[in-house]
Amino acid sequence: MKTLIKLKTNPAKNKNKKTLFDLAKKAKSLGKSNIVANFDKYLPKNLQ
């Protein structure tokens, strides 16, 4: 459990791994997925 929590709270240790937000932004810019294109609608304002 500790390892899983560390992975979630320390993204800097996994710099080469894409985050959900990175993938959502990329998919939105490519226009490949309507679901992901609307993803930022559900994000808090400070993450958009």
How does pLDDT run across 3-37, given as a tens digit for each residue?
A: 555 555 555 555 556 677 777 777 666 665 555 55
Q: How many domains does the chain have?
A: 1
Q: Is 7 within a domain?
A: no
Which among 48, 8, 44 has a CA at the least distance from the CA of 25? 48
Give the model's pLDDT for residue 26.
Answer: 72
Q: Is 4 within a domain?
A: no
Which among 13, 11, 21, 10 has a CA at the least distance from the CA of 43? 21
Find the domain containing 39 and state its range: 17-48
Residue 48 has pLDDT above 50, yes or no: no
Q: Which pTM does this prediction carry?
A: 0.27
